[in-house]
Amino acid sequence: MLANSLVELDRAHLVHPVASWRGHEAAGVRLLTSGKGARITDAQGHELIDGFAGLWCVNAGYGQESVVAAATKQMQDLAYATGYFGLGAEPAVRLAARLADAAPGDLNHVYFGLGGSDAVDTTVRFVRYYWHARGKPAKDQFISVAQGYHGSSTVGAGLTALPAFHAGFGVPYDWQHKIPSHDTYRNPAGSDAAIIEASRGHLLAKVAELGGPERVAAFYIEPIQGSGGVLVPPKGWMKAMRDLCAELDILFIADEVITGFGRTGPLFACAEEGIVPDMMTTAKGLTSGYVPMGAVFLSDRVYSTIADGAGAAAVGHGQTYSAHPVSAAVGLAVLDLYEGGLLENGQRMGARLMAGLRGLSDHPLVGDVRGRGMLAAIELVTDKAAKTPLPAAAQPATRIFDRAWQAGLVVRAFGWGVIGYAPPLCCTEEEIDQIVARTRVVLDQTLDDPDVRAALR
């Protein structure tokens, strides 16, 4: 009864992110009521393993008492402190220091915001300010990677390269450009080395087309492209692109909003290739989704250039909730969990997840299995040799999501037949095995669909 009236209220009043508004009205909301560890329960009492950690964010899992206690204490002690007027509060200072210590190389300066989208937005502002400070305002062109996702702020959505975020919104802007994705499954270049060489070539060609390095401000990448379908670049790709940007004097921005905080194994994916970006964006696992927060890391050089460029003047960038003390207290508690064994557990469970999903490769619908750590995907096809995607009539986004739900599993079901996984790092072996077993049930059910059968070769 209560749930039914909430569904009606939701339908009437709550606008959902990245949804067909009319489609959502028709379908109605699925209400979640509780979570513990890697499991969530809906309003009907149906328990599911959250194989996607909310929105690849609840890395520490649900119901962690130490996080709840840290937030409660901070709310009681001091619920809010502005960072304006030279003020501050202990949790944000401590969190910035600990993050700087843990971050790659000289990423020693941290600006806290509210989430990933505004973190990306912040980098765009800092990039521009940096080049103005260096006396090169003509360096104002931005390049990112096809199939990339960098949030849905007005500016970030233009760096994003997914059509739904552009159509009808008037972006990308004419200073926002893309090069093709490394997408190893469908890349015509072939071998890893050839893909890396091709990507270097694409970036060089794009820079030349824009008038040379003196016009290009920054290049944005994700260590693994998440919303594009969990596309893992060849080993060495990120380093090659970072080195090329350094050669060309183009700022290299690593967007670790998904990959940060243990998702791929270490605290930051950049560390896996010994990369030190000029700036790095994080959010999600920073507070494990308990409260909103994002963080932009700046290298010593970027920070000093902006600081010296501004001199006594204010760098005019800020938000009411920058460095929010409750979010920072949560960030510290979550970091304690990561460093207290959760990262190691995530690494072990990530290896088990990848092995389990690879075991599904023999299924007639599985064309590709990819991922690293607790970030993975399988791509479904009807013809493995031709890599033919599922027919649109099979409505992969809804059918696969619904079936997984029925089987007691939350996954990300991408519209083109990719199933994405990003379970909490606290998963047990049994939960990982269940994620794989329940996926096989979904695959078998999908194989029985007449439209899928008809398309199968």
List residues binding ligand PLP (CB under 6 A). Answer: 115-117, 120, 149-151, 222, 226-227, 255, 257-258, 283
Distance of closest approach, residue 293 Cβ to ligand PLP, in angstroms: 9
Tokens 């760096």, residue located: 159
Query: Among residues 150 and 370, whose Cβ is nearest to ligand PLP?
Result: 150
Q: Where are the alpha helices (DSSP H) in 359-449?
A: 396-406, 429-447
From residue 331, give the alpha-carbon distance in Å to each of 34, 288, 291: 21, 8, 9
| Minimum CB distance to ligand PLP, residue 283 (Å) | 4
Nearer to ligand PLP, 159 or 189 (CB): 159
The CB-of-106 to ligand PLP minimum distance in angstroms stands at: 23
Other beta carbons within 10 Å of 128? 16
CB of 19 to ligand PLP, least distance (A): 14
Q: Which residue is nearest to ligand PLP (CB)?
A: 116
CB of 279 to ligand PLP, least distance (A): 13
Nearer to ligand PLP, 54 or 356 (CB): 54
Report phi then psi at 250, rounded to 5. Answer: -115, 135
Contact 27, 19 (CB under 8 A): no
SS3 160: coil
19 or 205: CB nearest ligand PLP: 19
Closest CB to ligand PLP among residues 227, 446: 227
CA distance 219 to 203: 9
Both tokens of 355, joined, read 């092995």
Other Cβ atoms closer than 10 A to 429? 10
CA–CA separation, 217 vs 127, rounded Å? 7
Q: Is the peptide bond before 172 cis (omega within 30 degrees of 0)?
A: yes
CB of 124 to ligand PLP, least distance (A): 12
Instruction: Report which secondary-structure segment, H or E, holds 257.
Output: none
Helix (H, G, I), strand (E, B) or coil at 89: coil
Closer residue to ligand PLP, CB minimum distance, 180 or 309: 180
Q: How far is the CB of 187 from ligand PLP (least distance, A)?
A: 20
359: number of Cβ within 10 Å: 13
Of 151 and 356, nearer to ligand PLP (C-beta) is 151
Nearest-approach distance from CB 74 to ligand PLP, in angstroms: 21
Distance CA 261, CA 285 (A): 5
In angstroms, how far is the first alpha carbon of the chain from the final one?
A: 47
Q: Which residues are within 8 A (CB) of 245 and not within 5 positions of it... i.e. 6 or more apart?
A: 203, 219, 251, 252
Distance of CA 117 to the CA centre of its chain: 10
Given strand 32-36, what is the order of strands in its sheet? 32-36, 39-42, 47-50, 409-410
Q: What's the min distance (Å) between Cβ of 370 and ligand PLP?
A: 17
Distance of closest approach, residue 166 Cβ to ligand PLP, in angstroms: 15
Nearer to ligand PLP, 226 or 331 (CB): 226
Residue whose CB is less far from ligand PLP, 150 or 403: 150
Nearer to ligand PLP, 64 or 117 (CB): 117
